[in-house]
Amino acid sequence: MLFPGGRLPLRIFEQRYMGMAKTCLKDGSPFGVCLIREGGEVGKPAVPAQVGTLARIAEWDMPQLGLLEVIARGERRFRILERRLQADGLARARVELIADDEDGPVPAESARCARLLERLLAEVPGAPAERHFDSASWVGMRLVELLPLSLEGKQEFLEMTDAGARLERLNSLLARAPGV
C-alpha cells in the first residue's frame, strides 16, 4: 500500500507494467496504487480496492534487462469511478481525486502517536528526511505505514478524510497495545 507522502519500492518485470512505467517516465505522469481485494500481484489482473493513491516515479534503475526498480512517491488519494482492462491486462481507470485531509496540529491527547512515530523513524533505514511531527495528517499517515496493521486496517485508515479522527483512532489502538 502507498499513502500520500509515502515511499514505495517496486520491482517491475511484467510487460504491461514496463510499458506503464515507460510512459510515466516519459510524460512525468502518475499511476495508481491500490490494495488488491481479489487476485494476485503477478499474472491475471487483480480486483483493486476503490480508494488508492497516485504515485509518481521518483527514482529508477534497470540493474538488468527486463527488470526495472523504482521508488514511487505517494501523492493524492483517489476513488475509482470506472475501471477497464486493456488487451495486455493493464487496468486503467477514471478516478476522482479525494480532497486532502483538513490538517492541523497534533492534538495533545494524540501526542503519544507523534512520540512513537519519532522513535520508529529513528530505527527505519531510508526514513524520510523531511519530517512534520506537528502535522496531524503527516503523523497519522506515516504511523499507519509503519504499524503492523492488517492491509484491510491500513485501507480503512487510508480512506479516512479527517486527520484528527485518524490520530484519535490510532491513539485508541495504541492505548490498548502492551508496552507502547
Q: What is the dihedral of CA 114, 120, 125, 129, to 10 degrees?
A: 10
3-state secondary structure of 130: coil
Q: Taking a C-beta distance cutoff of 8 angstroms, is the pair 47, 12 a contact?
A: no
Answer yes or no: do 90 and 123 share one domain: no
Grid coordinates representing 165 are 479522527
Q: Can you tell me which residue has the cell 487483480?
A: 46
In angstroms, the CA 140 to CA 113 distance is 8
Residue 53: inside a domain, yes or no?
yes
Per-residue confidence band for 180, with pLDDT thresholds at 50, 70 and 90 = low
Distance CA 176, CA 169 (A): 11
Domain limit, last residue, from 97, 124, 153: 97
CA distances from residue 18 to 10, 39, 57 in whole angstroms, order as listed: 11, 20, 12
What domain range includes position 11? 7-97
In a domain, 37, yes or no: yes
The reported pTM is 0.88
Q: Are residues 52 and 91 in the same domain?
A: yes
The verdict on 88 and 119 lying in the same domain is no
pLDDT tens by residue, 132-160: 999 999 999 999 999 999 999 999 999 99
Q: What is the CATH number of the domain that holds 54?
A: 2.30.130.40
Q: What is the pLDDT of residues 81-91, one digit of tens each?
A: 999 999 988 89
Reported as a single tens digit per residue, the pLDDT across 46-104 is 889 999 999 999 999 999 999 999 999 999 999 999 999 999 888 999 999 999 888 88
Which residues are within 8 A (CB) of 128 and not within 5 positions of it... i.e. 6 or more apart? Answer: 5, 7, 121, 142
Nearest to 157 by CA among 177, 133, 137: 137
Residue 115 within any structural domain of the chain = yes
What CATH number has the domain bearing residue 169? 1.10.4060.10
